[in-house]
Structure 1
Amino acid sequence: MYTIGYDIGSSSVKVAIVEAVTGKKLASLHEPPGEMEIIAIQRDWAEQDPEQWWDYICKATKRILQEANIDATKITAIGISYQMHGLVLVDKEGNSLRNSIIWCDSRAVAIGDKAYQDLGHEFCATELLNAPGNFTASKLKWVKDNQPHIYEQIHKYMLPGDYIAYKLTGELVTTKNGLAEGTLWNYKTNKVATELLDYYGIDHSLTPDVVDNFTDQGKVHTAAAKATGLPKGISVTYRSGDQPNNALSLNIFRPGEVAATGGTSGVIYAVTDQSDFKEIRKVNHFAHVNYTKEHPTVGRLLNINGAGIQYRWLRNNSVENSYENMNRKASKLPIGSDGVLVIPFGNGAERMLDNKNVGTHFCNLNLNQHSNAHLYRAALEGIAFSFVYGMDILKKDQTEINVIRAGNDNLFRSEIFANTVATLIGQEIEIYNTTGAVGAARAAGLTDGDFDRFGESITKNDHVMTYIPIKNKEPYKAAYNNWKTELEFTVQKHN
């Protein structure tokens, strides 16, 4: 028997099939072969067509079933991971009303900031555990204010994973985890945050019914079975935003455990059982996948929008044709890149910088001395320094950090990046061979609630290596302090 998992990202849709009992990966792939388009009609906007996600789900599923050469009738359950904070709107027929406003769209920043001021820090900190910020609720308010003709047609609003689950099952439902991602969950009352809906003037009936994770959330219907090749009647049992799901994939369930992600954006996701949070404007707090009212496990998420996208931009706009070549050139240069600095924030407003959009900056270039290799190393270091800067914010807010784990992909393939982070924070970083789609597939079978057994299997089978902090920290500290000075000067200019 097998389970299948999907990871709906902003660059592609990934799918994986694993053995139901052992969790062993049988196959994984992604669609499209390149990258999905992000539609930016105006500066700081970012949208995608939800129907395109579904189209790639169907193509990827049919292809993986063929390439894995398995009997599709032996697939027993479906897990879904998805890009967080997005907004999908459907009418009474379940048709998408507009493009999804996705996670890196910054149009609702001012709306969320005003809500925070009007509702007050105390309410936001104790009941929402977040400032409303640029999340799903604020994006919905933007639609209400700016596209009333669309708002009037809304039957339900959803997160991206809810929409894919709906296309599979016909069930318009969500989870408390998903609502928490949109600042739409009240942790004090343990229900939908109707106070924020009322403040924004949003009809309560637009919120889908709430279902629990690791349960039957709906069964694949005839049309979806025909479109994907999946067996009719199997259940979607799990859905989660990509960062909580990434933590699950890395056996991050307990206080003091941290998952790090170095993809298009960078994320530090620290699990805690505390509830006294100060930095709610810079750090997000979401119900973790194992959250219950009795055991309120919360994921503290610090996001860095401008991370891997910076390195990808350099690759796409230079003579190099691979990250490996860039890494090789960068490795020949000293720590600190001979004075070149890169401030890597060019992908929308940065929450940890008080929602400022400071952009990307290349600093101290000497046209007679520096080469493209200096840019590559400075970019890797700049992204690593932004992770360290974020870690410092978490530590100042009493976040316990005992274990850090990351997937064996993207930025963590770079020794420069990983060694810089490990050395400056003084913490080993464990690398695991897993992905979000594999984690979602495994989670689809986690219906018995045995997180310890689930995690032990990951630690035993998936560990690849561990980055150890380098003993001589001084060159790293000097480079970081130079970068931090430049960053603070840049931020001050945007005040």
Structure 2
Amino acid sequence: MASHLLGIDLGAGSLKATIIGATGVVEGEASHPVTSHVPQFGWSEQDPAEWFEALCAAVPRALAAAGLTGRDITGIGVSAGAHIPVLTDEAGTVLRPAIMWNDQRSAAQAASLHEKAGAQIIGSSLNKVNPTWTLAMLAWLREHEPAVFSRARRLYLAKDYLRYRLTGTWETDYSDAVGALLADDAVKDWSPELAALAGWDLARLPRIVKPTDVVGGVTAAAAARTGLAEGTKVVCGSNDTTVEFFGVGAVEPGIGAVKLATAGVLFLATDGPSVNPPVSCYPHVIEGMFYTATGTNSCASAHRWLRDLMFAQGGFEAMDALAAGVKPGADGLLFHPYLQGERAPYWDPLLRADFIGMTISHSQAHFARALYEGIAFSIRDLLEAARGLGLQFGTIRLIGGGARSAVWRQIIADVTGLTIERTEAADASFGAALLAGIGTGVFNSPREAVAACVRLVDTTMPDPARHAFYSNLFSIYKDAQAALAPLNHRLHALVQSQAAAF
């Protein structure tokens, strides 16, 4: 009998497939890169066709790594970044590249929507509109690409489009409906009023089901491309933040997490919705629970950028080793990680990244240390803003690829002053596999899945002396951000005027 679960997660830089057994042990995994395109400053797009090609490359390699065939898979769960719209015509043809969650083009439309109906949007879909949300993206498309907008007959969120390529079905879960900023929380369904703000017909939205509901089976065509068995059950799944937070065992109110992936995200599990815009609020996998999420745009993406710029030969391992050899504070070198503008807590698409405090004595090692510290300061910025809203954090669990760095874990603990825990598996593909297990009856409930599969591997405690030092440095980081923000705006205006003139 089939006895394994497959989780598939589409990240901003790659698609990952993870196969686990019924006790949560990872039996095999593989990933395949996906490409982001930046047609203009502040824009970010991907080709949905490339997502499925990545799935077709990663899944067979994960099966091979586990020594399994498609017939050994009991169920499949899929996740992807929230907010990302894929528009198709009636035949399922994709009409344009998918606008990514970190795209900032719809700033003007977001401001207009907030001015027109801000209280209504927050009251209905729990969150304040900004360029991150699908509602603002649809408003931009209606204004700037009316031909595409009028031809569209279906809106898929990213994970739903990827799952459609496996099953041929069209649905979503409530967490992604909230993430689209098109939900009515009073009835846990789509809001006709919010959809109307962007001129979007409800007939062009999928039905809403539970993330653990089996929605279909792998089609013959998908089976031929992936090595999966035709008819293998596929659950709806949810967005990456929902499944990865669940996948590190955050099933009780008060548990927090930090995600070190393309973006840096701070989470907190809550009993019922905690609506504190601009901190985001999403439904949890466990009915009745919610979680807050607030994020910085550039985390692992900044890490990757510096690696490619300065450490092409040694890679991440060289960065880690060099950063470990530099004392806290990087001898006065500070980094603000605003390589793609910034979300929380500034919501400013025109912010720019910088290294400040450079002297002739600074080396590659200092830049590596400063990058780790700058992203940790950005996470503390999120933490302080959330605390200002009354949210309380204790122990934090780490999520994402950056959690593997012991140097970075210690820096985050020292900068935030929080105890940092790490689980054996800490990514969205693992959480997606757990959802598949719940939906196919391997586990009786979400809490049973966590009890069976989630295990801690280490704990990192903050050092009081280093925390005190970093608190002083954080105040300089904040003052520098405030001083440089108007200069960032002037630089943007100058570049824009130059583009028009030459």
TM-score tier, shorter chain, comes to over 0.9
- Structure 2 CA distance, aligned partners of 1:127 and 1:152? 26
Q: 2:464 matched to which residue of 1?
A: 471
Match of 2:451 in 1: 456
2:412 aligned with 1:410, yes or no? no
- CA-CA distance at 1:227 after TM superposition: 1.8
> 1:452, CA displacement in angstroms?
2.3
In the aligned structure 2, how far is the partner of 1:143 from the partner of 1:386? 31
> How does 1:47-66 map onto structure 2 within 5 Å?
47-66=45-64
Looking at structure 2, the residues matched to 259 and 428 of structure 1 have their Cα atoms a distance apart, in angstroms, of 11
Q: Among the aligned pairs, what percent are the same residue?
A: 26
Secondary structure, in 3 states, of the residue corresponding to 2:84? coil
Q: 1:155 aligns with which of 147, 153, 178?
A: 153
Runs of 4+ aligned structure 1 residues displaced above 4 Å come to: 492-495
Q: Distance in 1 between matches of 2:80 and 2:349?
A: 25
Q: 1:381 maps to which residue?
A: 373
TM-score (norm 2): 0.91
**Corresponding residue for 1:483?**
477
Residues 409-456 of structure 1, C-alpha deviations (whole Å, 9 max, x = no match)? 533333443223223433211011213212211220113552222222
1:3 is aligned to: 5
Match of 2:19 in 1: 17
Counterpart in 2 of 1:399? 391
Provide the C-alpha distance between the structure 1 equivalents of 2:88 and 2:40, rounded to a whole number of angstroms: 23
Distance across 1 between alignment mates of 2:98 and 2:146: 16
Name whichever of 91-100 and 313-322 sits farther off: 313-322
Report deviation, 1:361: 0.7
Residue-by-residue CA offset, 1:188-217 (whole Å, 9 max, x unaligned): 232212211112221121111122221211
What residue in structure 1 maps to residue 264 of structure 2?
266
Shift of 1:276: 5.1
CA contact 1:422–1:428 (8 Å) conserved in 2: yes
Structure 2 CA distance for partners of 1:238 and 1:92, relative to 1, 3 Å: closer
Contact 2:176 2:238 in 1 (8 A): yes
- Aligned 8 A contact 2:424 2:456 in 1: yes
**Counterpart amino acid of 2:155?**
Y
Q: For residues 229 and 453 of structure 2, what CA distance do their matches in structure 1 show? A: 28
Tell me which of 437, 440, 456 is aligned to 1:445: 437
Could you tell me how far apart the structure 2 residues matched to 1:431 and 1:43 are? Answer: 35
SS of alignment partner, residue 132 of structure 1: coil
Match of 2:123 among 114, 122, 126: 126
Q: Distance in 1 between matches of 2:316 and 2:220?
A: 43
Contact in 2 for aligned 1:126/1:188 (Cα 8 Å): no
2:424 paired with 1:433: yes
On the 8 A contact 2:11/2:81 being kept in 1, the answer is yes
If the length of structure 1 is used for normalisation, what is the TM-score?
0.93
- Report if aligned partners of 1:238, 1:440 keep a CA contact under 8 Å in 2: no
Q: Contact 2:244–2:429 at 8 Å: present in 1 too?
A: no
Deviation at 1:352, TM superposition (A): 2.0
Task: Tell me what 2:335 maps to.
Answer: 342
Sort the Cα spacing of 1:426 and 1:196 in 2 relative to 1 into closer, same or farther, 3 A.
Answer: same
Contact 2:42 2:349 in 1 (8 A): no
Instruction: Check conservation: 1:341, 1:363, Cα contact below 8 A.
Output: yes
Contact 1:3 1:17 in 2 (8 A): yes
- 1:431 is paired with a residue of what secondary structure? strand
Letter aligned with residue 5 of structure 1: G
Q: Indicate conservation of the 8 Å contact 1:340/1:374, yes or no.
A: yes
Shift of 1:339: 0.9
2:229 corresponds, among 231, 250, 262, to: 231
1:361 corresponds to which residue?
Answer: 354
Kindly tell me: are residues 48 and 82 of structure 1, through their superposed partners in 2, closer, same or farther at Cα, counting changes over 3 Å?
same
Q: What is the match of residue 284 of structure 1?
A: 280
- One-letter amino acid matched to 2:30: L
> What is the deviation of 1:493?
4.3
Q: Any idea what SS the aligned residue of 2:464 has?
A: coil
Partner of 1:241: 239
Q: Contact between 2:27 and 2:65, CA under 8 Å: does it hold in 1?
A: no
Structure 1 counterpart of 2:78: 80
Supply the AA of the counterpart residue of 1:455. V
CA distance in 2 between counterparts of 1:375 and 1:442 reads 39
Deviation (angstroms), 1:350? 2.0
Tell me the secondary structure at the aligned position of residue 430 of structure 1.
strand
Structure 2 CA distance for partners of 1:215 and 1:277, relative to 1, 3 Å: closer
Q: Give the direction of change, closer, same or farther, for the CA distance of 1:190–1:436 in structure 2 (3 Å limit).
A: closer
Question: Where does residue 290 of structure 2 map in the other structure?
Answer: 298
Letter in 2 for 1:427: L
Shift of 1:65: 2.4
Choose from 327, 331, 334 the match for 2:324. 331
Task: Give the secondary-structure state (helix, strand or coil) at the position aligned to 1:352.
Answer: coil
Distance 1:188 1:355, change over 3 A: farther
Secondary structure of the corresponding residue to residue 93 of structure 1: coil
Residues 449 and 127 (structure 1), Cα distance of their counterparts in 2 relative to 1, 3 Å cut: farther
Q: Secondary structure at the match of 1:37?
A: coil
What is the distance in 2 between the residues matched to 1:95 and 1:42? Answer: 25
